[in-house]
Structure 1
Amino acid sequence: MGKDKFEKRFHVDNLSSAHVYLRMPDGMKWDSIPDALLTDCAQLVKANSIEGNKKDNINVVYTPWSNLKKTKGMEVGQVGFHKEGLRKKIFVEKRSNEIVNRLNKTKIEREVDFSQEKINRDRTKRKERQERERKQRQEAVQKQREKEERERQLHYEDVFENAVMKSNYDNQNLEDDFM
């Protein structure tokens, strides 16, 4: 839940309202957020909006953070969108106290160091990427070894190794025993 009008993500359309950020798990796309989660976010935004809480039949707008547009001429808390097509709306008929109370019971307020969280997240992503790349390199080396072994067996390269071969020219004992 945004503490003030400086934070954005979900908000009541055309009304002054609180804003909710949703940090999605890895792999989840913003346009495939489950309906139950969207409903929870919309109810939370409506309940924390001074005007929106008093009204029924409102729309809550959500969009990815990259679509938020903020210019110097805008008021604090005001936001625009780079692409209107990336905005999605959720219709909220009326406030559901059951949902709001359930969410408020799980509410935890803490100071967040966003820059440190970003550094930690980037570090984790980088380690995951490096591990993936290391595994790919190992697989490539293993495949190359297997290919070289198949080639070696196919072309009988071990048959004529000089270190293993014996020459009759070098063996004087054979000539002495012959006659």
Structure 2
Amino acid sequence: MVLYFKARPEAGDYTIFMGFDKFENEDLIKYGFIEDVWFHVDKMSSAHVYLRLHKGQTLDDIPEGVLEDCVQLVKANSIQGNKVNNIDVVYTPWSNLKKTASMDVGQVGFHNQKSVRTVRVEKRINEIINRLNRTKVERTPDFKAEREAVAAAEKAERKQLLREKKRREELDKLEKEKQAELRSYKNLMVVEKMTSNKNIASANKSLQELEEDFM
């Protein structure tokens, strides 16, 4: 089961979600989306909270209010972190999560430490937690099927873009050939290079004239 929350509406349409337990967290780690951002209390046990960004967005694009919602939710879902003030919450793109066979269930590392950011949370803000909990929805998604569906849609989109690119290239090629043909035709039709029937007639003597010249 996965718990879904809606971030503050004035910040835009953002979905926040977290696994109900460490086993759901494993599936979230395995079948996450490139747009997902992972949050966790630093050096303490806590829920794995995710924020799904809009396509093309990065960590720098997270609205300040949405970031506050995420870190508050992580703090509230940490047994130890919820009891103390001034804790650190780390967050990083899902693609930066590293999972090895030697790690326990729900445990993760990072591919690149430089892609991990830290934010200090001074205290729990009940107003934020209460607002988020009012939007909470429980679902049991098929992570693998969702990921495969997205991958198939992205593959189809790439194929369509490739077809469109090839078509544009073919049209450009035909246009260039047409323009080259027109330029060649114009050169043939230059007035100075043209010869009329009158010019031909004046340049060539008639048969009678040739006979007179001969006589």
- TM bin, normalised by shorter chain, reads 0.7 to 0.9
SS at match of 1:91: strand
TM-score between the two structures when normalised by the length of structure 2: 0.67
SS at match of 1:109: strand
Report the equivalent of 1:63: 92
Using the alignment, how far apart are the partners of 1:136 and 1:74 within structure 2? Answer: 45
Deviation of 1:31 (Å):
4.3
Q: Please point out which of 10, 23, 28 is paired with 2:52.
A: 23
Q: Percent identity?
A: 52
Report the equivalent of 1:153: 182
Using the alignment, how far apart are the partners of 1:77 and 1:147 within structure 2? Answer: 59
Deviation of 1:86 (Å):
1.8
Q: Please point out which of 121, 125, 139 is paired with 1:110.
A: 139
In structure 2, the CA distance between the partners of 1:73 and 1:147, relative to structure 1 (3 Å rule), is closer
> Unaligned stretches of 5+ in structure 2?
1-17, 30-37, 190-215
The 4+ residue runs of structure 1 with deviation greater than 6 A are none
Does the alignment pair 1:35 with 2:64?
Answer: yes
Report the equivalent of 1:2: 19
Report the equivalent of 2:171: 142
- Equivalent pairs counted in the alignment come to 159
The structure with more radius of gyration: 2
In structure 2, the CA distance between the partners of 1:74 and 1:141, relative to structure 1 (3 Å rule), is closer
RMSD of Structure 2 on Structure 1 (CA): 2.1
Q: Per chain length, whose mean CA-contact separation is higher, i.e. which structure has more relative contact order (CA < 8 Å, sep 6+)? A: 2
TM-score between the two structures when normalised by the length of structure 1: 0.79
> Unaligned stretches of 5+ in structure 1?
161-179
Alpha carbons 1:57, 1:94 under 8 Å: kept? yes
